[in-house]
Amino acid sequence: GDYHIVLAENRRMFNELQELKGNIRVYCRIRPFLPGHGEKHSTVEYIGEHGELAVVNPSKQGKDRRRNFKFNKVFGPDSTQAEVYSDTQPLIRSVLDGYSVCIFAYGQTGSGKTYTMTGPNGASEEDWGVNYRALNDLFSISQKRRDSLIYEIQVQMVEIYNERVRDLLLSDVHYNTLKYFVSLDFHTLGIVSTVQPNGLAVPDASMHPVTSTSDVLELIDVGLKNRAVGATAMNERSSRSHSVVSIHVRGKDSHSGTALHGNLHLVDLAGSERVDRSEATGDRLREAQHINKSLSALGDVIFALAQKNSHVPYRNSKLTQLLQSSLGGQAKTLMFVQLNPDVSSYSETVSTLKFAERVSGVELGAARSSK
C-alpha cells in the first residue's frame, strides 16, 4: 500500500529531475475541434503517455500515411489549462532561483497558441493560460521567501514585426502609429550578449517595476492595446508578429546581501503557416519572408544548443538576438507546439511537427547517450 505510493512518488520526483536536466523541452498540444468550423476528421491517430504521437493523413494510402513523433509530453484535445501548466511550474521556481527561462508558443494561426499562453478572452481563473499562472506563482513564491530574499520584479514588452522591434510599453498609448513606431537600436546588442548584471534583454525598451500579478496584467493589457494600434495602420497583424513579455527578477539575500538575477520570457510567436508564394505579393510577401526567416533562425539556434555546437547562430534574426542571453548556457527553454487536429491542416501539422522534432529530438538523443 503506502510503500508503493512512496515508490511511485520517488519515481515521479526522479523523472521530474531527469527531465529538468535537459534544458530544452518540447510539449505538444492538440486543440479540440471547434464547433461550427466544419472540422470533422482528425489527423491524430495515437497519443501515448510518454510523449508519443502518431498522425495520419486519412486521404492518403500506403506507407507514408502514418508518421510517428516523440516529445517530452503530448497534451490531447481534452487536456485542461491546469494540466498543461502543471509541468511548467518547476521552471517558474527556477526563475526565482536565478535562471533564465524562455517559454514559446509555436504553431500555425488558429492552432491555440494564444489559448495556451493567455487563455480565452475574458477567461475565468480555471481557463487561465500559462502566462497568468506563471505570474501568480512567481509572485506567490517570492512572497513565501520574503524572510530570506527580497525580490524586485520588472517587466518589458516588445513586438517584433518585419525584423523591427517595437516597445509596446512606452508610457502611454499613442494613437499616431507612425510616431509610435519606435525601432530599437540593436547595435547595443553586442554588449548584452556578455551577460549584463541586470539581465536586460532589450537595452532600449522601457522597464516597469511590478509588485503583483495584476500590475503585470495591466501592463500586458496596455501592450496589447498598443499592438492593436499599430495593427490598424498595417492590417491585422498580431498573428504575423512575435510578442515578447520579459519579466526580470532580482533577488537579494537579506542576510548576506548577495544578489541573483532571473528572467522569464513569454513569447507568442507569429503564425508558422506557409504563405502561398503565388498569391502573396508586396507587404504580405515581405511579412511571410521575415516570419520564415526568424522562425527558422530560432529553430537553428535551439538545434545548435541541443547539439552542443560551439557556434550558435544567434545573429540571424532579431528574435534570437533579443533572447541570446536567455537561450543556452544554464537557461531553460520550453516550447509549446500547437496543432490543429483537422485533416485540412495536415500538411501544416506535419511541417510544425518536423520543426518540433528538429528542436527536441536531438536533445533527447544527446541526453540519453551521455547517461
Phi, psi at 142, each rounded to 5°: -65, -35
Report, in Å, the least distance between residue 182 CB and ligand ADP: 25
Question: DSSP per residue over 300-328, as a string?
Answer: HHHHHHHTT-S---GGGSHHHHHTGGGSS
**Closer CB to ligand ADP, residue 134 or residue 149?**
134
- Work out the burial of residue 344: count CB atoms within 10 Å of its CB; fewer than 13 is exposed, 13-18 middle, 19 or more buried: middle
Determine the Cα–Cα distance for residues 298 and 40; give it in Å rounded to an integer: 33
Determine the Cα–Cα distance for residues 164 and 147; give it in Å rounded to an integer: 42
Q: Which residues of 114-147 are buried (b: 16+ CB within 10 A; e: fewer)?
A: bbbbbbeeeeeeebbbbbbbbbbbbbebbeeeee
Nearest CA among 148, 151, 127 for reference residue 140 = 151
Per-residue binding letters, 32-61, with ligand ADP (x by CB under 6 A): x-x---------------------------
Distances (CA, A) of 12 to 5, 7, 17, 79, 265: 10, 9, 9, 20, 27
Query: What is the helix (H) or strand (E) element at residue 52, kind and residue range?
Result: strand 52-56
Beta strands 52-56 and 66-70: pairing type? antiparallel
Part of the chain binding ligand ADP (CB under 6 A), chosen from 114-122, 293-301, 324-332, 348-356: 114-122
- Binding-site size for ligand ADP (CB under 6 A) equals 14
Query: What is the helix (H) or strand (E) element at residue 136, kind and residue range?
Result: helix 130-144
**Closer CB to ligand ADP, residue 273 or residue 357?**
273
Whether residue 327 contacts residue 24, with contact meaning beta carbons closer than 8 Å, is answered with no
SS3 90: helix
**Closer CB to ligand ADP, residue 15 or residue 80?**
80
Residue 86 contacts ligand ADP per CB under 6 A: no
Residue 349 contacts ligand ADP per CB under 6 A: no
Phi, psi at 147, each rounded to 5°: -70, -30
Residue 17 contacts ligand ADP per CB under 6 A: no
**Closer CB to ligand ADP, residue 127 or residue 215?**
127
Tell which one of 107, 299, 328, 341 touches ligand ADP (CB under 6 A): 107
Tell which one of 22, 51, 110, 328 touches ligand ADP (CB under 6 A): 110
Part of the chain binding ligand ADP (CB under 6 A), chosen from 56-64, 66-74, 106-114, 179-187: 106-114
Report, in Å, the least distance between residue 353 CB and ligand ADP: 15
Part of the chain binding ligand ADP (CB under 6 A), chosen from 111-119, 301-309, 316-324, 360-368: 111-119
Residue 338 contacts ligand ADP per CB under 6 A: yes
**Closer CB to ligand ADP, residue 84 or residue 101?**
84
Residue 115 contacts ligand ADP per CB under 6 A: yes
Tell which one of 72, 100, 114, 321 touches ligand ADP (CB under 6 A): 114
Part of the chain binding ligand ADP (CB under 6 A), chosen from 110-118, 203-211, 249-257, 309-317: 110-118
Report, in Å, the least distance between residue 22 CB and ligand ADP: 25
Nearest CA among 279, 2, 288 for reference residue 161 = 288
Determine the Cα–Cα distance for residues 266 and 144; give it in Å rounded to an integer: 23
Binding to ligand ADP, residues 191-250 (CB under 6 A): 239
**Closer CB to ligand ADP, residue 306 or residue 319?**
319
Where do contacts with ligand ADP occur on this chain (CB under 6 A)?
Answer: 31-32, 34, 107, 109-115, 120, 239, 338
